[in-house]
Amino acid sequence: MPIDPSSDITFEELIASYSHTKPGSFYYELFEEARSATSLDDKRRNQTIKYLRQVALFHCAQSVLKSGPKGDFAECGCFRGQAAYMIAKMIQEAGSVRQLHLFDSFEGLSEFAEEDNAGLTRQKHTTENMRRHFGYPETSLRHNMEGFDFVRVYRGWIPERFAEVDDREFALVHVDVDLYQPTLDSLRFFYPRLAPRGWIIVDDYNAQNFPGANIAVDRFIADVNPSCAIAGQVGGFFISK
């Protein structure tokens, strides 16, 4: 269906314009299953934006599972587990023998660094509300993921439990921790353990409320100079060797 750039278009019309996002596509069905399993009752979340942003995560995971490198998958910052559920379901559907490692404090966001308020005027109570917003019980996350016996959950502030997977190689890592220091810590730990043609996806790049994610990614890229480093169309950043 062609899009007339001079006219308004609804979200439903937008996704129906592309075979990989339209109703009935694998991505559409997968996203809806993950949303229903983990986030259906959360009215605060913008599923429209999430739907568009996670298409690229979906394609990275799909490419790895079809013809990509060996190695485990990991997610740093899983909240209710919607993205983790999608990844786990794809691993399961592919019949792949991999583990999915989930790292989260289950207490919300960590302390904001100076970089996390760069260019913003934000009251202290606003910051505290943001930190609490992302708290989610570990028991609930485990319940959401109970259909996947290859999922491992690590409770703690990043990076304190990374040492437990120090000897693993990774094919895909999803970093969704919002803030400067845990984003940088995640990149520094997982990139050396990333298999060739594997992917690290930083969810919060270009998110207006989280400038620290951009600063962390940009500093890391300047230091490491990976062979592939791409910003997503509607947010996110993608790094490969």
Domain ranges of the chain: 55-240
User: Which residues fall within 8 angstroms of residue 24, CB to CB, at 6 or more apart?
Assistant: none
For the segment 8-18, what is each residue's pLDDT rounded down to a tens digit?
Answer: 888 888 899 99
CA–CA dist 49, 35 (Å, integer):
13
Q: What single string gives the DSSP state of each residue in 198-209?
A: EEEEETTTT-TT
| Distance (Å) of CA 219 to CA 114, 143, 181, 224, 232 | 15, 37, 11, 9, 18
Q: How many CB atoms lie within 10 A of CB 127?
A: 16
Tokens (6 digits) for 93: 């559907």
The answer to whether the predicted template modeling score (pTM) of the entire model surpasses 0.75 is yes
pLDDT at 121: 86
pLDDT at 44 over 80: no
pLDDT at 49: 83
Q: How many CB atoms lie within 10 A of CB 40?
A: 13
CA–CA dist 49, 51 (Å, integer):
5
pLDDT band of 6, cuts 50, 70, 90: low
Fold of 55-240: Rossmann fold (3.40.50)
pLDDT band of 1, cuts 50, 70, 90: very low
pLDDT at 67: 85
